[in-house]
A = this chain, B = another copy of it.
């Protein structure tokens, strides 16, 4: 049974609607945090006073606003919270819409549920909380379909590194030495050219500028 919930969410409006959803599920013992550090603090305190939370509902991205934070994002909070209270249920409520990132989250990061901020998010939120209360996990049904639709090419770590460097102004011919220093392979100039050509050919592009624009659009860089 879920009775005590912590909401970690910097957007006031999102916070409000999560609260309302919880109230509709007759959950009234709710705490709020607008920063990850504050959230972790509340979790730690609750554990100490033997009144720990049953569920953490958290966003992934928290906007920096001057106040320096130890935990910059939701993922950091999740990792830290798991250490303090391993049995804490965690539900991610985020606008993340990059299929690869969602997939990663659902399968590898040991969370109990994910609800995307989208059309029917309030309804989904309710359902997710109900499922988690029954010790089941809740994930969007069509993650795989999303994967296939949206991302015609799945960028590797190196791919993204290369494109990022280009977008930062590094000359192509200087990338090999950079990769070598970082211990990343492959690092040969030909390999970099090959990777760029692969990406461009799959996506039907002809120039690096297109690639950079595309990656900015879909948010991988």
A205 CA / B212 CA spacing, docked (Å): 15
**Among the listed stretches A42-50, A103-111, A121-129, A187-195, which one makes contact with chain B, having 4 or more residues with CB under 8 Å of it?**
A121-129
Asked if A144 is an interface residue, CB under 8 A from chain B, the answer is no
Q: Which residue of B lies closest to A20 (CB)?
A: B16
Q: Copies per complex?
A: 2
Q: Which of B16, B119, B167, B207 contacts A166 (CB 8 A)?
A: B207
**Among the listed stretches A7-15, A72-80, A152-160, A175-183, which one makes contact with chain B, having 4 or more residues with CB under 8 Å of it?**
A7-15
- The residues of B that contact A65 with a CB separation of less than 8 Å are 119
Q: What 0/1 pattern do residues 48 to 87 of A give for CB contact below 8 A with B?
A: 0000000000000001010000000000000000000000
Q: Are A125 and B209 closer than 8 Å at their CB atoms?
A: no
Q: Are A13 and B206 closer than 8 Å at their CB atoms?
A: no
The 6 closest A-B pairs by CB, nearest first: A216-B216, A167-B213, A13-B17, A12-B122, A16-B17, A17-B17
Sample of 16 A–B contacts (CB below 8 Å): A10-B119, A11-B117, A11-B119, A12-B119, A12-B123, A13-B14, A13-B18, A13-B21, A13-B117, A13-B122, A16-B17, A16-B21, A63-B118, A208-B209, A209-B209, A212-B213
